Amino acid sequence: MIKEKNKIIDNFLAFIDVVIAWVSLDLTYFIQHGDFYLLGDKGYIIQHFLVFFIWITLSKLLRLSELFRSRPYSVLLFNCILLAITGTALLVFFVFILEQYYINFNTLLYFMAINLTLTFTFKLLVFSIFKNARKKGYNSRTILIVGDRSSVQLIRLILSHKEWGYQISAVIADEVKEYFQNELTFLPEDVDIDKLLVDSTIDELIFCYEQPDMAKMQNLLLSCNEVGVVFRMYSPVFNMLSNKTHLHYFGTTPLLTISNTPLDYLSLKIKGVFDFVSALITIVLLSPLYVIIALVVASTSKGQVFFKQVRVGLRGRKFWLYKFRTMVTNAEDLMDDLKDFNEMDGPTFKMTHDPRITRVGHILRKTGLDELPQFFNILLGHMSLVGPRPPVPKEVKEYERWQLRRLSMKPGITCIWQISESRNDIAFDDWMRMDMEYIDNWSLKLDFVIILKTIRSVIRADGK
């Protein structure tokens, strides 16, 4: 029943995407020509038929018609952009094939912009309505969690996002009681789960173990299937499997193959081109800001405007990293006197009230503007917009073996740990794991999300 209901809603929302595209097309002609039916009945029917065919297909393929509970707005925007660009490109193709040359290129560009704006606005409205309803307890799903200590992070995530509409009915995991003693209902490990699934209102069961017992998992999976409960499984090992797993055949024998770095050649090339073009545009557009910051740095403290330092890049390659100077000129010489005040574990150094930072330097660091010269590093091919931060050579010498893998991707200006809410207080090992998470789950979509969240972080000026 739930599946059928969701299917009806999905089909309805896919049709709404088509209607929005039709409205966008009509608005485009009205804005340009002051007439909705400038092309006559035949042209009107052909265009709207093409839009229907393209948009209903893309809406399904991009799953824009599905109301995901936990989908962030940044991913929603990315998919709306894909819909508008891909849909318009296909429209151009069919216009050429059908020789509808009276539809000019400017018209299609206007259409793409209007369609993107209207589609994303509508999706925002729909998702916001559902999220607010879920916060109030409507449209909720009850879940049972069966696991060990590795489920702590998952439980915290669910509890912190009321808008997802997941209500934890009970937890079967003695190891996590100490973390949520007064927040959740805990059941003993030997409880009869088969009977529980029948007697209680449970929509989903989440099986969460660091080292899952396959026999136990299979029994729970079968039990859920028998009574129509959704079975989900989580394990930390999935961070490695998500995008880097494929079947490779030795003759006719399949082998599960896991690579530890991204292998999508085309996507990596697109990333490289996007990095270069974005860096070039940023430098040109912000050139007045570069000049202003340089003058302020030069006039408020003695020393060079730019700070340069040897950093370690892709596969251990060394390069000069550039930043606006935020410290006094003899900052490196003063390091030995400040080692006892280091607030970071591991080989990195961080101090909240570092006396070496200049007054202007505090502002530049808080806003992230000191990083602007690194766009030149991107043009030179040393860095990327998104990637693990480039370490100094002495840090790399102190890395544990597993931490060296963060050098397997080109370093970047921003990454997952820098958009984390706790980025100013993050432990070194957690920082390293976040970089590994980025490498294991890399995609163009993930880069897009990180860039959007970095822009938000810069606007909020929540750096240190």
Kind of pairing between the strands at 306-312 and 253-258: unpaired
Token couple for 261: 């770095």
Classify burial at 288, counting beta carbons within 10 Å of its beta carbon; exposed 0-12, middle 13-18, buried 19 or more: exposed
Could you tell me which residues come within 8 angstroms of residue 368 by beta carbon, excluding any fewer than 6 positions away?
A: 457, 458, 461, 463
CA 87 to each of CA 44, 55, 62, 98, 444: distance values in angstroms, whole numbers, following the listed order: 17, 7, 11, 16, 19
Please give the structure tokens belonging to residue 195. 């009977």
- What are the C-alpha distances in Å from 350 to residues 186, 344, 357, 391? 40, 6, 12, 13
Amino acid identity at 224: C
Token couple for 337? 């006197």
**Which contiguous run of DSSP H or E holds residue 153?**
helix 152-160
CA dist 188 and 314 (Å) reads: 49
pLDDT score, position 280? 93
Q: Which domains does the chain have, with CATH numbers?
A: 2-135 (no CATH), 141-236 (3.40.50.720), 265-460 (no CATH)
CA distance 43 to 45: 6
Q: Which two tokens stand for residue 231?
A: 């079975």
Q: Please report, in tens digits, the pLDDT of each residue of the chain (464 residues total).
A: 455 566 777 788 889 999 999 999 888 888 877 666 555 556 677 788 888 999 998 988 888 888 778 777 888 888 899 999 999 988 888 777 766 655 677 778 889 999 999 999 999 998 888 888 888 888 888 999 998 888 888 898 888 888 888 999 999 988 888 888 788 889 998 899 989 988 888 999 999 988 888 888 899 999 998 888 889 988 766 655 555 666 666 766 777 666 666 666 778 888 988 999 999 999 999 999 999 999 999 988 888 899 999 999 988 899 999 999 988 877 776 676 676 666 665 666 666 677 788 888 888 888 888 999 999 999 999 999 999 999 999 889 888 888 888 888 899 999 888 777 666 667 788 888 888 888 888 888 889 889 888 888 777 766 55
Q: What is the pTM of this model?
A: 0.58
pLDDT of the residue at 84: 92
The pLDDT of residue 113 is 93
- Which whole-number Å values give the CA distances from 353 to 297, 303, 306, 338, 463, in the listed order? 20, 21, 22, 11, 13
Sign for the CA dihedral angle at 225, 226, 228, 234 comes to negative
Phi first, then psi, for residue 87 (nearest 5°) are: -60, -45
Distance CA 13, CA 66 (A): 8
Query: Cα separation of 367 and 462, whole Å?
Result: 7
Of 368, 387, 390, the closest CA to residue 446 belongs to 387
Helix axes 73-97, 444-460, angle to 10 degrees: 130
